[in-house]
Amino acid sequence: MDAALRAEFGVEGEWQIWRRHRIRWAECDMHGHVNHAAYLVMFEDLRVEHWLRVGQGFGEGAPGPVVAKLEVRYLRALRFQDEVLLALRTTGLRNTSYTQDYAVWAGGLAFEAKALLVCVRDGASSPIPGEARGRFLL
């Protein structure tokens, strides 16, 4: 992430994957703010992108990430058409699970979450595939 992007959105820290996003009509509620559940859907997209980047897929019978825990803080309300930066970093890797941070930046931090993901295959937790592990934190 270059200095211009950091300055534009007030980003702090190091991040692994990021994406510009413009707040959608469907993400806003009657208050004119992004609904609290809509943030989670945004980061589902980044979690998918990470899983693909480490060479994994989502086919039938393939292992995939399932959310086991979330700690979420909503720091500032976002509004329709706001330009924001979504960012993800993987912070830990165990045998069958991993942890990620998610953040929305818009003139500083607007939202942050810590997630515990479990790798699941056919309904049971399953080791994160060896070929994926080397790229997991990059």
C-beta of 116: minimal distance to a copy of itself in Å? 9
Instruction: CB nearer to a copy of itself: give 6 or 112.
Output: 112
> Residues 41-70: x/- map of binding to a copy of itself (CB under 8 A)?
x--xx--x---------x-----x-xxxxx
> Which of 113, 117, 111 is closest to 27 using CA atoms?
111
Contact 99, 117 (CB under 8 A): yes
Cα–Cα distance for residue pair 29/133, rounded to 1 Å: 39
Contact 104, 10 (CB under 8 A): no
Residues 7-46, interacting with a copy of itself (CB under 8 A): 24-26, 28-33, 35-38, 40-41, 44-45
Instruction: CB nearer to a copy of itself: give 6 or 40.
Output: 40
Task: For residue 28, give the H/E element and its range.
Answer: none
Cα–Cα distance for residue pair 12/42, rounded to 1 Å: 20
The site for a copy of itself (CB under 8 A) is made up of 24-26, 28-33, 35-38, 40-41, 44-45, 48, 58, 64, 66-74, 77, 80-81, 123
